[in-house]
Every structure is written in C-alpha cells, then in structure tokens.
Amino acid sequence: MSNEGNKTTSEAPQVVEEEGKAKLRKWLNMKFRIEMTDGRVLIGVFLCTDRDANVILDTEAAIVPFVAFKNAPFYDA
C-alpha cells in the first residue's frame, strides 16, 4: 500500500495555510481602510491578526457616520 494519497491530503491544508500567511506578511505595514458592518470606517496600518482572526491596526483615524449612532442609548430622534 502506498501512503502517497494520505501524504497529499495531509499536506493540502498546510499549503493553504502557508499561502494565507504569505498574503498576510505581504500586507504588513500597509495602509488599510476597513469598513465595519455597523458603518464605522477604520483607517490605519496593518500590524497583525490575533488567534481569532481579528485585524490589528495602528489606527490613524476612526470615522463614525451619524447613522451608526441611531441605535445608541443617547440618540434622540
């Protein structure tokens, strides 16, 4: 019996992981503009990700559009 089939399947996730790491390394110290689902916009330099895949930026600016305050407790319409 050949173990080549098992070798290929066990290496496939590792290859994908290495490609992902290479992409993240390429993004290091690049300026990003990230639009959050709640309408906020973060502008900053990409530093890393944490183990939960959250993006860590050295933030230069955070833009909070007025509509993001609509559900805030202090919003008075």
For the chain, the three-class secondary structure string (H helix, E strand, C coil) is CCCHHHHHHHHHHHHHHHHHHHHHHHHCCCEEEEECCCCCEEEEEEEEECCCCCEEEEEEEEECCHHHHCCCCCCCC
What rounded mean pLDDT belongs to the chain? 78
- The yes-or-no verdict on residue 67 having pLDDT over 90 is no
Q: Is residue 62 one of the residues assigned to a domain?
A: yes
Question: Per residue in 14-49, pLDDT tens?
Answer: 888 889 889 989 999 999 999 988 888 899 999 998
- The yes-or-no verdict on residue 72 having pLDDT over 70 is no
Q: Is residue 74 one of the residues assigned to a domain?
A: no
List the CATH number of the domain containing 47: 2.30.30
Give the range of the structural domain holding residue 29, as residue numbers without chain letter. 4-69
Q: Is residue 58 one of the residues assigned to a domain?
A: yes
pTM of structure = 0.59
> Tokens representing 54?
């959250």
Tally of domains in the chain: 1
Q: Is residue 57 one of the residues assigned to a domain?
A: yes
Q: Is residue 50 one of the residues assigned to a domain?
A: yes
* Rounded percentage of the chain residues whose pLDDT exceeds 70: 70
Q: Which residue has the higher pLDDT, 68 or 12?
A: 12
> Tokens representing 67?
């509509």
Q: Is residue 76 one of the residues assigned to a domain?
A: no
Query: For the chain, first and last CA: distance in Å?
Result: 73
